[in-house]
């Protein structure tokens, strides 16, 4: 779809990647409706919906706004980080990350689908991650959430293949935003992890929307890694020794987390 035809609903619009996506979409001529958990000031060319997508009330608020506004593209960009050794993760953290990154997009998509199916053309874009296809030490929780999202998008794409709704996946690698806490930033530096600017991710989003391709992975060698990991996962197991060493060096020794 051309941006000039797009009325885009984007979740996580107040975050680092989300703000860059909003700016790029508007510059390309799209109309944008942002979704945020915190209050945002309406601008002349941007409307906001304040909603917690982890609640049924929040989802319904977004559905009502999207319906009255006539959204024909939905971008699921909201999410939470989940860096850390498994022994350091709390049950509450696991619950919140899986809800934000996987369950909320699934439930919001289900609620929005009837109105999207009434559009002559519509697109659902899920912002996943290279880690949804390549599991790294220290990202077991985040990888689980994004792998689930990737699987959901793939299955839904095939389920809706004979409808007017197209399902797409954008998979960035690490991005320079406040999404990464200091521990994750230190880990990325120590392991030589490449990071992109949010503006780079936003440009790739525009290209994905206009191309109407099914998937777009950002960065090299991540694209190669995704293919190799998909075909021969055990072959990559030995590639992450420095990641394991860095994670162990940064992780206090504990018997596990119970609270």
Instruction: Give the C-alpha separation, 91 to 154, whole Å.
Output: 28
First-to-last alpha carbon distance for the chain, in angstroms, is 47
Widest Cα–Cα separation across the chain: 56
Burial class (CB in 10 A: 0-12, 13-18, 19+), 172: buried
Tokens coding 216: 């777009």
Instruction: Give the C-alpha separation, 98 to 111, whole Å.
Output: 19
Tokens coding 45: 């060319």
Marked catalytic residue, from 142, 152, 187, 217: 142
Q: Is 142 a catalytic residue?
A: yes
List active site positions: 142
């Amino acid at each position: 779809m051309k941006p000039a035809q797009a009325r885009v609903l984007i979740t996580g619009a107040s975050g680092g990647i989300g703000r860059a996506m909003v700016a790029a979409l508007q510059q390309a001529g799209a109309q944008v409706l942002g979704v945020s958990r915190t209050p945002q000031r309406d601008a002349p060319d941007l409307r906001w919906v304040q909603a917690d997508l982890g609640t049924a009330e929040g989802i319904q608020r977004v559905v009502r706004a999207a319906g009255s506004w006539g959204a024909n593209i939905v971008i699921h960009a909201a999410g939470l980080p989940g860096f850390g050794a498994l022994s350091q993760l709390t049950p509450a953290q696991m619950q919140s990350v899986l809800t934000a990154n996987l369950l909320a997009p699934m439930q919001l998509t289900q609620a929005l689908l009837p109105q999207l199916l009434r559009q002559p053309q519509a697109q659902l874009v899920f912002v996943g991650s290279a880690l949804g296809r390549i599991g790294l030490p220290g990202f077991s929780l985040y990888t689980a959430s994004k792998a689930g999202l990737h699987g959901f998008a793939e299955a839904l794409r095939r389920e809706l293949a004979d409808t007017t709704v197209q399902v797409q996946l954008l998979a960035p690698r690490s991005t320079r935003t406040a999404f990464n806490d200091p521990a994750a930033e230190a880990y990325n530096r120590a392991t030589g992890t490449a990071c992109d600017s949010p503006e780079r991710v936003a440009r790739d989003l525009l290209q994905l929307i206009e191309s109407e391709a099914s998937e777009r992975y950002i960065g090299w060698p991540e694209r190669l890694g995704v293919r190799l990991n998909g075909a021969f996962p055990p072959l990559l197991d030995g590639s992450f020794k420095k990641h394991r060493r860095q994670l162990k060096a940064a992780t206090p020794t504990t018997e596990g987390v119970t609270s």
